């Protein structure tokens, strides 16, 4: 389905990158720091004028890097991140090797997952086990819900419009709950699931069926492994149990409070079906199979007694543009900018289409409460108008792009006044190749899928491959939720 096939009522917009006011392309912080450094240069130069020969060129170079852009970010931030990554690599801080005791944290998960532990809880509403990921540093807990894969491309326009409204209502309920700090929705597509489907078809085939039907089914079974994929969607919600009126003091009470908060999220009518809460076995399977895709279809008994720390890799290397681990090499990209025009609700379909490599698409959310959202939009309007005025004073008129940006900020404020919600969100995609030789093909497949969305701009997660890889897993890590 292309954007021309989608009715206007199913087009969405309102995406905007937060921008601060600065001089000459600098951010607000960059402008203030630049002014402070220039003032210091002037004060030093009054006493020792010869120092200006060195300080002014150095300051000018740093400000130029801060104003320039590289891959959608300030060039200074890009080069500083590269310097920090190289320094960490020299100290072997980007390499992970599982060691035996007595090393104190040798059996923890690598990176951002090191401070988490898995709790097997009992959900009294369903009578089933539930896996809860506990962040020992912050006390937050993350509960994942397995969703049933489906789609709305064949659904009537009214049903799709209703699903969008219900999803907005769900986000609104999250904005008014102090305990819910963030959420993410992940869809994992693993190619080559035809073998499992073949076994299922053979087990359910009627031996007394007509010969023509048997031949047709046999042909479908023969060709299925080359045309299907296993789809595993889930939603992870991060909860802070201590944000309640009467915060629980023991771990059991905190788990109960987290389950209560997640049960308050109603996904009915949002276009997806809830399969069940993820158990501890489900979480072990999802995490372990991300590092080693070969074990995705293993039996539940293989994960029942697997320690949480052993769900991670035995060895991993966090590169600048790739992440090597047990079962292959992964490449993660992050959102750079959304289209400024209205887009179809099915814009992510090319990313969700099966390919030759395992792929995870993650949408991370942090819904702002009404007061914070209003304050953010008011600042954005003020910054946009200040940029217009500054440009008009220098060049005689403001840029048309600045006027359009001001209009988008004002339109967002008007939508919020009408009941819409403001949300920080980002998009992350991870592709896993089985061998290093397949990495160029995996990178090309990912680049083509992003290009097919016709407007979404993404870039590699430079120097943060391991973190973005973990953000797509039910590990309790959400980059939008700050400590």
Structure confidence by residue, pLDDT tens digits, 397-426: 888 888 888 888 888 888 888 777 888 889
Across the range 223-243, mean pLDDT stands at: 80
- Per-residue confidence (pLDDT) for residue 360, from 0 to 100: 94
Beta bridge partners of 360: 188, 430
Judge if the upstream peptide bond of residue 102 is cis by omega within 30 degrees of 0: yes
Beta bridge partners of 277: 145
Tens-digit pLDDT profile for residues 346-359: 888 889 888 889 99
99 versus 322: which is more confidently predicted? 322
Across the range 439-450, mean pLDDT stands at: 93
- How many whole angstroms separate alpha carbon 318 and alpha carbon 463? 8
Model confidence, pTM? 0.83
- How many whole angstroms separate alpha carbon 184 and alpha carbon 472? 8
Instruction: Pull the structure tokens for residue 390.
Output: 């500054």
Share of residues in the chain with pLDDT > 90 (%): 26
Tens-digit pLDDT profile for residues 445-473: 999 999 998 889 999 999 999 999 999 99
Taking all residues of the chain, what is their mean pLDDT, rounded to a whole number? Answer: 83
Residue 296 half-sphere exposure toward CB, CA atoms < 13 A: 20
3-state secondary structure labels for all residues of the chain: CCHHHCCHHHEECCCCCCCCCCCCCCCHHHHHHHHHHHHHHHHHHHHCHHHHHHHHHHHHHHHHHHHCEECCEEHHHHHHHHHHHHHHHHCCCCEEECCCCCCCCCCCCCHHHCCEEEEEEEECCCCEEEEEEEECCCCCEEEEEEEECCCCCCCCHHHHHHHHHHHHHHHHHHHCCCCEEEEEEEEEEEECCHHHHHHHHHHHCCCCCCHHHHHHHHHHHHHHHHCCEEEEEEEEEEECHHHCCCCCCCHHHHHHHHHHHHHCCCCCCCCCEEEEECCHHHHHHHHHHHHCHHHCCCCCHHHHCCCHHHHCCCEEEECCCCEEECCEEEEEEEEEECCCCCEECCCCHHHHCCCCCEEEEEEEEEECCHHHHHHHHHHHHHHHHHHHHHHHHHHCCCCHHHHHHHHHHHHHHHHHHCCCCCEEEEEEEEEEECCHHHHHHHHHHHHHHHHHCCCCEEEECCCCHHHHHHHCCCCCCCCCCCC
């Amino acid at each position: 389905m292309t954007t021309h096939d989608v009715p206007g009522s199913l087009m969405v917009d309102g995406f905007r990158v937060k921008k601060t006011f600065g001089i000459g392309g600098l951010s607000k912080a960059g402008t203030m720091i630049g002014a402070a450094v220039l003032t210091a240069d002037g004060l030093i130069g009054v006493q020792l004028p010869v120092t200006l020969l060195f300080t002014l060129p150095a300051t000018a170079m740093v400000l130029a890097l801060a104003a320039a852009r590289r891959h959608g970010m300030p060039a200074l931030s890009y080069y500083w991140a590269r310097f920090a990554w190289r320094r960490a690599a020299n100290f072997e801080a980007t390499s992970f090797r599982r060691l035996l005791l007595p090393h104190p944290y040798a059996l923890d998960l690598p990176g951002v997952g090191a401070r988490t532990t898995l709790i097997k809880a009992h959900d009294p509403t369903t009578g089933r086990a539930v896996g809860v990921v506990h962040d020992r540093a912050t006390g937050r807990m993350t509960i994942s819900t397995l969703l049933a894969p489906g789609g709305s491309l064949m659904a009537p326009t009214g049903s799709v419009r209703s699903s969008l409204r219900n999803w907005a209502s769900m986000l609104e309920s999250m904005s008014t709950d102090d305990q819910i700090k963030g959420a993410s929705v992940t869809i994992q597509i693993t190619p080559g699931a035809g073998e499992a489907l073949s076994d299922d078809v053979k087990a359910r085939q009627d031996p007394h069926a007509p010969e023509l039907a048997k031949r047709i089914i046999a042909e479908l079974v023969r060709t299925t492994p080359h045309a299907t994929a296993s789809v595993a969607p889930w939603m992870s919600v991060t909860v802070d149990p201590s944000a309640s009126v009467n915060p629980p003091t023991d771990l059991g009470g905190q788990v109960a409070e987290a389950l209560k908060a997640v049960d308050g999220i109603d996904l009915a009518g949002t276009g997806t079906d809830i399969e069940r809460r993820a158990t501890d076995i489900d979480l072990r399977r999802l995490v372990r199979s991300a590092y080693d895709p070969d074990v995705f279809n293993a039996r539940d008994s293989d994960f029942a007694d697997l320690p949480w720390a052993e769900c991670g890799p035995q060895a991993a290397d966090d590169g600048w543009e790739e992440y090597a681990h047990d079962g292959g090499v992964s490449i993660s990209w992050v959102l750079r900018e959304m289209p400024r025009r209205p887009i179809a609700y099915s814009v992510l379909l090319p990313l969700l289409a099966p390919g030759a490599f395992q792929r995870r698409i993650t949408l991370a959310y942090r819904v702002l409460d009404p007061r914070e959202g209003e304050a953010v939009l008011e600042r954005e309007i003020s910054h946009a108008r200040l940029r217009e005025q500054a440009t008009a004073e220098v060049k005689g008129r403001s840029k048309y792009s600045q006027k359009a940006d001001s209009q988008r900020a004002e339109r967002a404020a008007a939508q919020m006044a009408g009941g819409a919600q403001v949300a920080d969100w980002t998009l992350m995609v991870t592709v896993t190749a089985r061998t290093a030789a397949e990495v160029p093909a995996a990178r090309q497949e990912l680049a083509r899928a992003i290009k097919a969305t016709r407007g979404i701009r993404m870039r590699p997660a430079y120097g943060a491959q391991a973190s973005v890889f973990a953000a797509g897993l039910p590990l309790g890590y959400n980059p939008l939720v700050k400590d």
